[in-house]
Amino acid sequence: MNSATPATTESAAPILRLQNVDKLFGDFVAVERVNLDIREGEFFTIVGPSGSGKTTLIRMLVGMDKPSDGNILLRGTRINDVPANKRPTCMVFQSLALFPHKTVGQNIEFPLKIRGVPPAERRGRCERLLQQLHLPQDYYGKAVGKCSGGEQQRVALARALAFDPEILFFDEPLSAIDYRLRKALEKELKDIHRETGKTFVYITHSLEEAMVMSDRIAIMRGGRVVQVGTPDEIYNRPRNRFVSEFMGEVNVLEVARDGDRLRDGASGALLQGPAMPEGFTKGFLVIRPEAFRFLNGTADATPNRLEGRLYNEYSLGSRMQYQVHVGGGVFLVEKLREQRYQGQLDDSVTIGWDPAEAMLFEE
């Protein structure tokens, strides 16, 4: 699918550049040494667990807060001290912050009104935005509180687009929305990004959400950026155990080097890993649930095998997940439904994986 991704030119100067940005609250370091380049027109997502510094970072990017140290550059110009209302950017908040008793039209036109745009021009702009966001024209006079969750999301977006900002910032706008609508809105946001061609900077605690929408993703932990890359790069080459675990359910083995192999600390099994980094002594072997195969009764000769007991089975729709107990450890195995395990709970099972399918990290 990578070929379907709109090209973001690698060489273009970034629209937004962060250089060694720090933010301290008293002695507490909320954001530390953040360096990022955000390219014109890309959908850039900052993802991290709660408390990792995402909101603190985006507040500095929109001008609601100033860095304690470092620089924020907009097309090469330092904007650390430029207030939010003087920047060509706009923020869409978690709550959407719509005026519930005002009409859709009044909500969308609000930023134009405070900028002194005449009523007729406001109305024309609003009608174009309703069309662009696939909202019926007769919603102009509808109370926004009577719109559905998805429609309110689009009204908030229309309002954010009203004064034609260069960059749109989003701070977890979908986190309070139920699963099915959220899944639909994730795609809708990506479509709107494509239609408007604007730079989107999006915050979420869900890497799964980030994967759906983003051209590139920055992963934060404890105020620092730990990895930046395309969804493919993050998925295929997570930099450390934290990133690999953040991506979803994975199996983590604590291993130590034993000659040219790895010894699993829990089971004592000798395993063959992927290529070891220079000087590797101990670390973590991470295996995705779908990398496992059930080896019972097969001629599969993979060198990595663990004997266990099938404890439980869960249906995930098109896939099946299994919990396999090996010694004191619990492993998750995932198979497509048509390749599901043919047997019963409490069966003795052997699970195996190809050495190259696991990921080895020192930290």
Which does residue 149 touch among ligand ADP, Mg ion, none (CB within 5 to 8 A, set by kind)?
none
Q: Which residue, 223 or 308, is less far from Mg ion as judged by CB?
A: 223
Comparing CB distances to ligand ADP, the nearer of 169 and 284 is 169
Measured from the CB atom, the residue of 56 and 227 that comes closer to ligand ADP is: 56
Identity of the residue, 45 or 55, whose beta carbon is nearer to Mg ion in the bound complex:
55
The window from 47-55, 128-136, 236-244, 308-316 that contacts ligand ADP (CB under 6 A) reads: 47-55
Residue 30 binding target from Mg ion, ligand ADP, none, CB below 5 to 8 Å by type: ligand ADP
Closest to ligand ADP by CB, 170 or 292: 170
| C-alpha to C-alpha distance for 201 and 23, rounded to whole angstroms | 19
| Residue 25 CB, nearest approach to ligand ADP (Å) | 3
Q: Which of 17, 34, 55, 241 binds ligand ADP (CB under 6 A)?
A: 55
Find the shortest distance in angstroms from Cβ 109 to ligand ADP: 30
The yes or no reply on residue 50 touching ligand ADP (CB under 6 A) is yes
Residue 53 is a binding residue for ligand ADP (CB under 6 A): yes
Of the two residues 55 and 240, which places its CB atom closer to Mg ion in the complex?
55
Q: Which does 125 bind (CB under 5 to 8 A by kind): ligand ADP, Mg ion, none?
A: none
Name the minimum Å distance from CB 105 to Mg ion.
31
Chain position carrying tokens 């099994």: 269
227 binds Mg ion (CB under 5 A): no
- The nearer residue to Mg ion, 55 or 227, going by C-beta atoms, is 55
- How far is residue 205's CA from residue 217's CA, in Å, rounded to a whole number? 12
Distance CA 333, CA 314 (A): 10
Site string for ligand ADP, 25-44 (x = CB under 6 A): x--x-x--------------
d(CA 289, CA 226): 24
Partner whose footprint covers residue 2, from Mg ion, ligand ADP, none (CB < 5 to 8 Å by kind): none
Which 3 state secondary structure label does DSSP give 229? strand
- Binding-site partner at residue 251 among Mg ion, ligand ADP, none, CB < 5 to 8 Å by type: none
Site string for Mg ion, 44-83 (x = CB under 5 A): -----------x----------------------------
Question: Using a CB cutoff of 8 Å and minimum separation of 24, what contacts does 269-278 make?
Answer: 269/306, 271/303, 271/304, 271/355, 272/303, 272/304, 272/355, 273/355, 273/358, 273/360, 274/355, 274/356, 274/358, 274/359, 274/360, 275/360, 276/360, 277/360, 277/362
CA distances in angstroms from 37 to 59, 72, 211, 237, 348, listed in the order given: 17, 10, 19, 20, 52
Cα separations in angstroms, 252 against 33, 113, 363: 29, 55, 12
Nearer to ligand ADP, 144 or 225 (CB): 225
Kindly provide the b/e burial profile for residues 263-301, where b requires at least 16 CB atoms within 10 angstroms of the residue's own CB: bbeebebebebeeeeeebeebbbbbbbebbbbbeeeeee
CA-CA distance, 173 to 177, in Å (whole number)? 8
Burial class (CB in 10 A: 0-12, 13-18, 19+), 344: exposed
Tell me the site size for ligand ADP, rule CB under 6 A: 11
- Residues within window 9-28 making contact with ligand ADP, judged by CB under 6 A: 25, 28
Contact 40, 191 (CB under 8 A): no
Residue 96 near which of Mg ion, ligand ADP, none (CB within 5-8 Å, type-dependent): none
From 355, 344, 342, select the one nearest 297 (Cα to Cα): 342
Footprint of ligand ADP (CB under 6 A): 25, 28, 30, 48, 50-56
Footprint of Mg ion (CB under 5 A): 55
